[in-house]
């Protein structure tokens, strides 16, 4: 799918999104300044504080749009560089997100109302493998972050304590620390941003929540277009096709079929995608 | 130095209007009533009406205190005239206007005489803004011929700004919830369609691409949504014929 025009479209689209984010940031900054001015003119302390509080909300929204603009601009720049030298792999939007989090491994998970993983985007192989483990085992930081709607972090031994299946398995990938933050806006949670082996002190920094909010606000829940936040999203189409097939072959529900595919993949130590591929091609029959 | 009482009250009113949560998402009734009540209390010697008309689809609504006043406000909506309508339409304040003057009689031929008959001599209106959109107005009506003071209009402006900020926040909240729902539905729908492709392919020993064509043509010929058809196939409530 990485055709030449596709890359140009992506570059142009990232540029547009950056411009929209910059404009929104400017608007929010202007609103903040307006209320700061009113705060300065206020006759009473209560009024002054009310304006300052409102200004603060606008400032924080402006900062999110600013972060979003930077993420889109850096993505556009990477795409442009790449289009001159196609020998390298096409840059991923998520790689920029990971970089902003001081790591090379970051993953986004989108969930539906049942909090099942519906789509994922990962910056590199380790983060993809870690998300796959969460998908196969049904436990892990992104799942907890969306269910509890709060930041979840664990490292070392607490990884195993918290997630008896996921903890040791993610450790085998060479990952020592995981953290996930829910993607929420106005109480609506649409997924989680997970980082693996982030920079020291990053998890508790304002940057983590700012990046998460920027992604949610300006990219996922943005009014200017479809949820096409980036080209990296994987819907696991093949896995769901295979679940449909297995449900007929074994006369069970698709959700049971999906669980069987996951269990088979985990037992074999491969991805659900790889099991699904064999099922769809008629090379594997689950029983 | 002691603060004028009205400033203390304004501060409290402002905080109340800006910070009170619009309880039911999308239903600003409580906020409009609060704006009308705070306005009536703070804007001394002045009758206050809140006009709310966010878009063309939503019927305009008015909030205020007193039967006569509300009758006038409802008539103004029906006649599509008056200071509130003008402020709502232009997004600009209607400055203090004598209701027995030429301007009022010309622009508000039905409204002005009725307001005069009720004892109001002056009118002004301030736009109620949610973000960049004007969604209504705060109408001030003064008894007798004395002009509405600049301080009064400033007070009114402060109140409408606080209420407007609250409305804007509420709108953002509703928009993001709606978008989150849409996103969830779009993703779930994609999943169900893939499941149906697999299910159909297994049942009829065809490829998933062929299965998709069958799903799509069935949905088209029956004028039904692809997602619904797919869901019925997955739940085995629908058998599709394969040529």
For residues A78 and A113, state if they share a domain: no
Domain span holding position A14: 4-84
Which residues on adjacent β-strands are paired with residue A153?
A179
**How many Cβ atoms sit within 10 Å of the Cβ of residue A1?**
5
pLDDT < 70 positions in chain B? 1-7, 20-26, 243
For residues A75 and A10, state if they share a domain: yes
User: How far is the C-alpha of B103 from the C-alpha of B97, rounded, in Å?
Assistant: 8
Say whether B234 and A248 touch across the interface (CB within 8 A): no
A47 touches chain B (CB under 8 A): yes
Does residue A253 lie in a domain region?
Answer: yes
Average pLDDT over every residue of A82-91 = 86
User: Is the pLDDT confidence value at A57 over 80?
Assistant: yes
A243 touches chain B (CB under 8 A): yes
Of all helices (H) and strands (E), which one includes residue A106?
strand A105-111
Say whether B199 and A186 touch across the interface (CB within 8 A): no
Q: What's the structural domain count of chain A?
A: 3
Domains along chain B?
5-177 (3.30.450.40), 180-234 (1.10.10.10)
Q: Write down the pLDDT at residue A3.
A: 45
For residues A150 and A183, state if they share a domain: yes
Which structure tokens are listed for A243?
């679940």
Collect all residues of chain B within an 8 Å Cβ-Cβ radius of residue A244. Answer: 194-202, 234
Average pLDDT over every residue of A240-249 = 96
Domain-ending residue, one of A84, A105, A124: A84
Say whether B11 and A46 touch across the interface (CB within 8 A): yes
Does residue A124 lie in a domain region?
Answer: yes
User: How far is the C-alpha of B55 from the C-alpha of B164, rounded, in Å?
Assistant: 15
For residue B159, what are the CA distances in angstroms to A5, A54, A168, B64?
52, 14, 58, 15
For residues A129 and A150, state if they share a domain: yes
For residues A115 and A161, state if they share a domain: yes
Mean pLDDT of chain A: 89
For residues A78 and A98, state if they share a domain: no
Q: Write down the pLDDT at residue A114.
A: 76
Q: Classify A232 as helix, strand or coil.
A: coil
Does residue A26 lie in a domain region?
Answer: yes
User: Is the pLDDT confidence value at A239 over 80?
Assistant: yes
Q: Which residues of A52-73 are buried (b: 16+ CB within 10 A; e: fewer)?
A: bebbeebbebbbbbbbbbbbbb
For residues A111 and A189, state if they share a domain: yes
User: How far is the C-alpha of A64 from the C-alpha of A210, rounded, in Å?
Assistant: 6
For residue A239, what are the CA distances in angstroms to A121, A235, A243?
16, 9, 6
B220 touches chain A (CB under 8 A): no
For residues A216 and A242, state if they share a domain: no
Does residue A232 lie in a domain region?
Answer: no
Domain-ending residue, one of A42, A66, A84: A84
For residues A29 and A101, state if they share a domain: no
Q: Write down the pLDDT at residue A29.
A: 95
**How many Cβ atoms sit within 10 Å of the Cβ of residue A124?**
17
Which structure tokens are listed for B56?
């063309």
Q: Write down the pLDDT at residue A6.
A: 67
Which structure tokens are listed for A7?
């890359």
User: Is the pLDDT confidence value at A248 over 90?
Assistant: yes
Burial class (CB in 10 A: 0-12, 13-18, 19+), A226: exposed
Instruction: Kindly tell me the number of DSSP H helices and DSSP E strands found in chain B.
Output: 9, 5
Average pLDDT over every residue of A233-240 = 92
Which structure tokens are listed for B58?
């939503």
Q: Write down the pLDDT at residue B1.
A: 37
Q: Write down the pLDDT at residue A106.
A: 97
Place of tokens 């996922």: A220
Give A112's pLDDT tier (boundaries 50, 70, 90). confident
For residues A15 and A78, state if they share a domain: yes
Substitution target from B154, B202, B210, B233 for chain A, most A beta carbons within 10 A:
B202
Which structure tokens are listed for B10?
């304004």
Encode pLDDT of A115-139 as tens digits. 788 899 999 999 999 999 999 999 9
For residues A119 and A216, state if they share a domain: yes
For residues A140 and A44, state if they share a domain: no
Does residue A226 lie in a domain region?
Answer: no
Domain-ending residue, one of A26, A58, A84: A84
Q: Classify A170 as helix, strand or coil.
A: helix
Does residue A258 lie in a domain region?
Answer: yes
Average pLDDT over every residue of A153-180 = 95
For residue B50, what are the CA distances in angstroms to B30, B33, B91?
12, 8, 15
Least Cα separation, residue A261 to chain B (angstroms): 13
Collect all residues of chain B within an 8 Å Cβ-Cβ radius of residue A50. Answer: 11, 14-15, 18-19, 162
Does residue A59 lie in a domain region?
Answer: yes
Residues 6+ apart with CB under 8 A from A48: A39, A40, A42
Q: Return the DSSP state at B88.
A: H
Does residue A228 lie in a domain region?
Answer: no
Q: Write down the pLDDT at residue A228.
A: 47
Least Cα separation, residue A137 to chain B (angstroms): 19
In sign, the C-alpha dihedral spanning B130, B133, B134, B135 is negative
Task: Kindly identify which residue of chain A lies nearest to residue B202, measuring between CA atoms.
Answer: A245
Average pLDDT over every residue of A149-166 = 95
Q: Write down the pLDDT at residue A236.
A: 93
């Amino acid at each position: 799918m990485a055709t030449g025009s596709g890359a140009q479209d992506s570059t142009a689209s990232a540029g547009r999104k950056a411009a929209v984010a910059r404009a929104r940031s400017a608007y929010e900054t202007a609103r903040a300044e307006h209320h700061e001015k009113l705060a300065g003119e206020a006759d009473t302390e209560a009024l002054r504080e009310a304006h300052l509080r409102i200004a603060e909300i606008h400032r924080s929204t402006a900062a999110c749009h600013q972060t979003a603009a930077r993420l889109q601009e850096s993505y556009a720049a990477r795409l442009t560089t790449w289009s001159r030298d196609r020998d390298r792999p096409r840059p991923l939007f998520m790689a920029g997100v990971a970089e902003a989090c001081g790591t090379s491994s970051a993953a986004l998970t989108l969930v539906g109302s049942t909090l099942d993983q519906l789509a994922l985007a990962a910056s590199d192989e380790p983060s993809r493998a870690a998300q796959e483990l969460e998908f196969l085992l049904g436990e892990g930081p992104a799942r907890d972050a969306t269910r509890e709607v709060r930041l979840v972090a664990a490292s070392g031994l607490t990884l195993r304590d918290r997630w008896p299946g996921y903890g040791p398995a993610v450790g085998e990938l060479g990952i020592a620390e995981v953290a996930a933050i829910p993607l929420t806006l106005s109480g609506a949670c649409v997924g989680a941003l997970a980082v693996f082996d982030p920079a020291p002190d990053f998890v508790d920094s304002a940057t983590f929540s700012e990046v998460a909010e920027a992604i949610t606000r300006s990219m996922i829940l943005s009014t200017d277009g479809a949820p096409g936040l980036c080209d990296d999203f994987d819907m696991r189409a093949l896995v769901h096709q295979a679940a449909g097939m297995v449900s007929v072959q074994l006369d069970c529900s698709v959700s049971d079929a999906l669980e069987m595919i996951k269990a088979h993949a985990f037992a074999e130590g491969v991805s659900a995608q790889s099991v699904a591929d064999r099922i769809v091609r008629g090379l594997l029959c689950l029983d | 130095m002691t603060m004028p009482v009205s400033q203390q009250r304004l501060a409290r009113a402002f905080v109340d209007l800006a910070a009170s949560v619009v309880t039911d998402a999308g239903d600003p009734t409580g906020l409009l009533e609060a704006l009308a009540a705070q306005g009536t209390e703070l804007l001394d010697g002045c009758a206050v009406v809140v006009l709310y008309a966010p878009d063309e689809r939503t019927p305009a609504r008015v909030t205020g205190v007193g039967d006569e006043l509300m009758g006038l406000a409802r008539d103004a909506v029906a006649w599509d005239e008056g200071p509130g309508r003008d402020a709502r339409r232009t997004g600009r304040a209607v400055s203090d206007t004598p209701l027995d003057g030429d301007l009022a009689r010309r622009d508000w031929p039905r409204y002005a005489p009725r307001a005069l008959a009720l004892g109001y001599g002056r009118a002004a209106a301030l736009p109620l803004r949610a973000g960049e959109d004007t969604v209504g107005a705060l109408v001030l009506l003064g008894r007798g011929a004395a002009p509405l003071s600049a301080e009064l209009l400033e007070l009114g402006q402060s109140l409408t700004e606080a209420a407007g900020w609250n409305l804007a926040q509420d709108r953002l909240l509703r928009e993001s919830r709606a978008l989150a729902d849409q996103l969830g539905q779009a993703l779930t729908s994609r999943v169900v369609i893939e499941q149906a492709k697999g299910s159909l392919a297994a049942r009829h020993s065809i490829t998933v691409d062929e299965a998709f064509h069958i799903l799509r043509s069935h949905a088209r010929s029956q004028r039904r949504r692809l997602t619904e058809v797919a869901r019925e196939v997955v739940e085995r409530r629908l058998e599709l014929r394969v040529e």
